[in-house]
Amino acid sequence: MSIIVDTCVWSYALRRRDNSMVPSITTQLNQLIQQRKIIMLGAIRQEILSGIRHETQFERIRLKLRAFPDYPVSISEIETAAQFYNHCRSHGIQGSNTDFLLCAVAYCHDFTVYTQDKDFYHFQQLLDFKLNLIS
């Protein structure tokens, strides 16, 4: 079983100074890393690194993320993401292009999306992909 870890989980584990509020997220992420189950998408890497104000923090996180090669996203998966976006939007559900790319890659390869973002619950009402929503 392979897992696509969403940006919000990575950000929580890598960028927050105080992880005491939900330590299980960091623990679960570390377990997934040790089990080598993580799938990294380039779009997630970009989101994680975007907005980091301090160069030293940027470099520290960039180097940590280098341990995870980017999963190659195909034209078909990008087209599926666009179809998912259009389908959800036609039903009044909004999301980002990156969110729908995660859904499409998960759908195409039977991966699971691991996230705290409750928008994915709404996506799953219309789309067929595996979801592990952290509460």
| pLDDT one-digit tens code per residue, 27-61 | 899 999 999 999 999 999 999 999 899 999 999 99
Specify the CATH class of 75-133 in words.
alpha beta
CB neighbour class for 88 (10 Å; exposed up to 12, middle 13-18, buried from 19): buried
CB neighbour class for 129 (10 Å; exposed up to 12, middle 13-18, buried from 19): buried
| pLDDT one-digit tens code per residue, 91-131 | 999 999 999 999 999 999 999 999 999 999 999 999 999 99
Query: By the 8 A CB rule, do 83 and 102 touch?
Result: no
Q: Dihedral of CA 133/69/96/1: which sign?
A: negative
CA nearest neighbour of 108 among 89, 131, 128: 128
| pLDDT one-digit tens code per residue, 58-98 | 999 999 999 999 999 999 999 999 999 999 999 999 999 99
Mean pLDDT of the chain: 93
Tokens of 17: 């100074």
Domain(s) of CATH 3.40.50.1010: residues in the chain: 75-133
